[in-house]
């Protein structure tokens, strides 16, 4: 796991020797282990905001593992509980799995098997906690979803926006297409004392040179052919609020000269008049290229760049914050499902692989559209075969078999009976294949 703190694990076993050995195994695997010989003492450290995994033996005095699981279930049904069982306890463990336990490990168990299960459970819990935190973050409403994320880059970005929002400094926002530059500009406006004023947006790349100056600075009636009445420009209309200039690198050279004067003097002169009007201006400009690099800046004026570049905010592309992709996809899928009045379909393993392997050149906008197509059932880009075609034929067949098992488990919500029937194999063979491929059935439980 990248950019994450050490996952906590609460371990309970009344066999002190086994408890010590298991704790050492998990600590060597990188977990922060709190070991207890009695479930009653362990319960004191478990609350609904517990961010880790509980691993417990079933047979214990006073409170046994199943009673412990029942209490945790009432505290928070999403806390992953892994039960350690003797052979005679397997039927009980299977029932607990149906009731919501994450996994069970039979004694004697291999250290790798336990650490693998705990690692997957910890990742699942991390995503659950992130989802909760993000749902509670009312400030990041649906129109600011591109800024959702728990990676350090996004935390820094939100902190920076908070720091500069209520100042009147002009801001230059850089980021690739679809990364959320207008969202950043909108948040800078909403989080400032200017929120009562107008948020005025203009895309400099969509207007011809003959129109953009009139749009920005306004004009008097008769200023040019077709100017039949007076028009207030975007600059003046944004006075007291925020002016957002997108794709500013596309602004014509002549317009750049006039814009530089507006920024320096904080006044505007509409076309067709010598009247100068003061404006209470705050500009947020956005560019798809690095205007600080002369090779990328092209015909964009250097002095205008430095005038705008009081504070620069960079939005990282989606491929550089991959830990946020699944979270964002979930939000976009839920939003699309509500809009289209459809349930969110179960995502096969190929979708999850695609989410993490695709480079997302269109960034958050592309991800949002992908989620909409996924909910509508028209997303046909997903391959059912693993993308890695390297290796010998037996190795490729092994990967293909593992993929089929994961997809079938996902379709059936982790239900063993339905999965076994769909695969047409004996239950014992199914469990053998899970172990061989390192697949944890609990990962697919609804």
- Return the CATH number at 281: 3.40.50.300
Based on the fold, state whether residues 251 and 377 are members of the same structural domain.
no
Give the CATH number of the domain where residue 84 resides: 3.40.50.2300
- Residue 363, domain member (yes or no): yes
Domain boundary among 110, 136, 162: 136
123 and 224 together in one domain = no
Quick one: 91 and 213 in the same domain?
Answer: no
Residue at 352 is within a domain: yes
Instruction: Please give the pLDDT value at position 222.
Output: 64
Read off the pLDDT band of 140 (50, 70, 90): very low
Question: What local confidence, expressed as pLDDT, does residue 393 receive?
Answer: 64
Q: Is this model's pTM higher than 0.85 or not?
A: no
C-alpha 321/C-alpha 367 separation (Å) is 13
pLDDT in tens, 21-74: 999 999 999 999 999 999 999 998 888 889 999 999 999 988 998 999 999 998
Residue 31: predicted pLDDT: 93
Q: Which of 88-97, 285-294, 424-433 has the lowest mean pLDDT?
A: 88-97
The verdict on 308 and 325 lying in the same domain is no
Within this chain, do residues 31 and 121 fall inside the same structural domain, yes or no?
yes
Residue 31 lies in a domain: yes
Write the pLDDT tens digit of every residue in 295-305: 888 889 999 99
Is 126 found in the same domain as 152? no
The 10s digit of each residue's pLDDT in 90-105 is: 888 788 888 889 998 8
pLDDT digits (tens, 9 = 90+) for 369-389: 888 888 888 764 444 434 444
Lowest mean pLDDT among 30-34, 120-124, 153-157: 153-157
**Beta carbons within 8 Å of 235's beta carbon, 6+ residues apart:** 216, 217, 218, 243, 262, 268, 279, 281
Mean pLDDT of 249-253: 91
Q: How many domains does the chain have?
A: 3
Q: Write out the residue range of the structural domain in which residue 409 sits.
A: 320-444
Check residue 379 and give its pLDDT: 60
Q: Is the Cβ–Cβ distance between 381 and 354 less than 8 Å?
A: yes
What confidence score (pLDDT) does residue 147 get? 72
**Any domain includes 340:** yes
User: Is 345's pLDDT higher than 70?
Assistant: yes
Residues ≥6 apart with Cβ < 8 Å to 130: 150, 327
pLDDT of residue 431: 86
Instruction: Kindly state whether residues 278 and 358 are assigned to the same domain.
Output: no
Asked, for residue 72, whether it belongs to a domain, the answer is yes
Residue 36 lies in a domain: yes
The strand pair at 81-85 and 103-106 is best described as: parallel
Spatial separation of the C-alpha atoms in residues 250 and 433, rounded to whole Å? 57
Same domain (yes/no): 338, 293: no
Task: Indicate the average pLDDT of the chain.
Answer: 84
- 162 and 256 in a common domain: yes
Same domain, 93 and 219: no
Selection from 220-229, 237-246, 378-387, 412-421 with the highest mean pLDDT:
237-246
Q: Give the range among 140-154, 185-199, 318-332, 352-366 with minimum mean pLDDT.
A: 140-154
Asked if the structure places residue 349 within a domain, the reply is: yes
Based on the fold, state whether residues 307 and 206 are members of the same structural domain: yes
What is the reported pLDDT for 67? 92
Domain boundary among 316, 333, 358: 316
Decide if 3 is inside a domain.
Answer: no
pLDDT tens figures, 161-213 = 989 998 889 999 998 888 889 989 999 999 899 999 999 999 988 888 778 88
**304-340 as b/e, with b when 16 or more CB fall inside 10 Å?**
bbebbeebebbbbbbeebbbbbebbbbbbbebbbeee
SS3 string, the chain, reads CCCCCCCEEEEECCCHHHHHHHHHHHHHCCCEEEEECCHHHHHCCCCCCCCCEEEEECCCCCCCHHHHHHHHHHHCCCCCEEEEECHHHHHHHHHHHHHCCCEEEECCCCHHHHHHHHHHHHHHHHHHHHHHHHHHCCCCCHHHHHHCCCCHHHHHHHHHHHHHHCCCCCEEEECCCCCCHHHHHHHHHHCCHHHHCCEEEEECCCCCHHHHHHHHHCECCCCCCCCCCCECCHHHHCCCCEEEEECHHHCCHHHHHHHHHHHHHCEECCECCCCCEECCCCEEEEECCCCCCHHHHCCCCHHHHHHHCCEEEECCCHHHCHHHHHHHHHHHHHHHHHHHCCCCCCCCHHHHHHHHHCCCCCHHHHHHHHHHHHHHCCCCCCCCCCCCCCCCHHHHHHHHHHHHHHHHHHHCCCCHHHHHHHHCCCHHHHHHHHHHHCCCHHHHCC
Q: Which long-range contacts (CB under 8 A, 24 or more apart) does 336-339 make?
A: 336/371, 336/372, 336/374, 336/375, 336/376, 337/375
Of residues 227, 425, 444, the one with CA closest to residue 346: 444
Do 305 and 263 sit in the same domain of this protein?
yes
Q: Which of 117, 136, 155 is the last residue of a domain?
A: 136
For CA atoms 130, 131, 135, 141, the dihedral sign is positive
């Amino acid at each position: 796991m990248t950019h994450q703190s050490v996952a906590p694990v609460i371990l309970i076993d009344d066999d002190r020797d086994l408890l010590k050995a298991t704790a050492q195994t998990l600590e060597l695997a990188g977990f922060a282990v709190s070991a207890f010989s009695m479930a009653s003492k362990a319960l004191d450290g478990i609350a609904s905001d517990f961010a880790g995994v509980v691993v417990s033996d079933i047979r214990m005095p006073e409170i046994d593992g199943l009673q412990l699981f029942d209490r945790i279930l009432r505290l928070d049904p999403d806390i992953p509980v892994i039960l350690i069982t003797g052979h005679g306890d397997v039927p009980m463990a299977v029932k607990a799995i149906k009731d919501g336990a994450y996994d069970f490990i039979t004694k004697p168990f291999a250290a790798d098997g336990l650490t693998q299960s705990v690692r997957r459970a910890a990742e699942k819990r991390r995503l659950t906690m992130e989802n909760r935190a993000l749902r509670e973050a009312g400030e990041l409403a649906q129109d600011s979803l591109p800024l959702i994320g728990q990676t350090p880059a996004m935390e820094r970005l939100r902190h920076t926006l908070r720091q500069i929002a209520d100042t009147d400094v002009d801001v230059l926002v850089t980021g690739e297409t679809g990364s959320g530059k207008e969202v950043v500009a909108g948040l800078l406006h909403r989080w400032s004392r200017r929120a009562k004023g107008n948020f005025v947006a203009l895309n400099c790349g969509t207007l011809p040179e003959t129109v953009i100056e009139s749009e920005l600075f306004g004009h008097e009636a008769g200023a040019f052919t077709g100017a039949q009445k007076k028009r207030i420009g975007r600059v003046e209309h944004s006075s007291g609020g925020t002016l957002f200039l997108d794709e500013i690198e596309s602004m014509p050279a002549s317009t750049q000269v006039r814009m530089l004067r507006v920024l320096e003097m904080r006044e505007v002169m509409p076309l067709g008049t010598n009247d100068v009007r003061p404006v209470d201006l705050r500009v947020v400009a956005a560019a798809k290229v690095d205007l600080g690099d002369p090779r990328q800046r092209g015909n964009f004026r250097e002095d205008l760049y430095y005038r705008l570049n009081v504070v620069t905010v960079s939005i990282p592309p989606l491929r550089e914050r991959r830990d946020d992709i699944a979270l964002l996809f979930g939000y976009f899928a839920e939003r699309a499902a509500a809009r289209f009045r459809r349930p969110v379909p179960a995502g096969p393993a190929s979708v999850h692989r695609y989410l993490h392997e695709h480079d997302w050149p269109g960034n958050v906008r592309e991800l949002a559209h992908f989620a909409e197509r996924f909910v509508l059932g028209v997303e046909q880009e997903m391959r059912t075969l693993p993308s890695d075609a390297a290796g010998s034929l037996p190795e490729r067949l092994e990967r293909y078999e593992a993929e089929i098992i994961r997809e079938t488990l996902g379709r059936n919500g982790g239900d063993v009976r339905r999965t076994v029937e769909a695969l047409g194999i004996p239950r014992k063979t199914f469990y053998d294949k899970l172990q061989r491929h390192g697949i944890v059935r609990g990962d697919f439980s609804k």
